[in-house]
């Protein structure tokens, strides 16, 4: 089963972590920890990531699998 970290990595695709982090106003290390599932972002950051990727919060952070 894929978690939110895997979904974030897949959504990032060929973009660099630096590009996504800058667009969302977070550090590269924070984004890395989110993608590895080592840290869960605050609600405000979840909203920024969802808006950046144009996906719902529930799909990124609460779905049970990736479709």
Q: What gap in Å lies between CA 20 and CA 16, rounded to an integer?
A: 7
User: Is residue 62 a part of any domain in this protein?
Assistant: no
Domain that holds residue 44: 4-54
Q: What's residue 64's pLDDT?
A: 67
CATH number at residue 8: 1.10.260.40
On whether residue 16 sits in a domain, the answer given is yes
Q: What total of structural domains would you count in the chain?
A: 1
Is position 65 within any domain?
no
Let me know if 20 is exposed, middle or buried by CB neighbors in 10 A (0-12, 13-18, 19+). buried
pLDDT of residue 13: 96
pLDDT digits (tens, 9 = 90+) for 23-45: 999 999 999 999 999 999 999 99
pTM passes above 0.95: no
8 within a domain of the structure (yes/no): yes
């Amino acid at each position: 089963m894929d978690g939110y970290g895997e979904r974030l990595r897949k959504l990032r695709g060929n973009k660099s972590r630096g590009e996504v982090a800058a667009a969302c106003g977070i550090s590269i290390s924070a984004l890395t920890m989110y993608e590895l599932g080592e840290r869960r972002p605050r609600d405000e950051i979840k909203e920024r990531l969802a808006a950046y990727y144009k996906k719902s919060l529930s799909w990124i952070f609460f779905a049970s699998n990736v479709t």
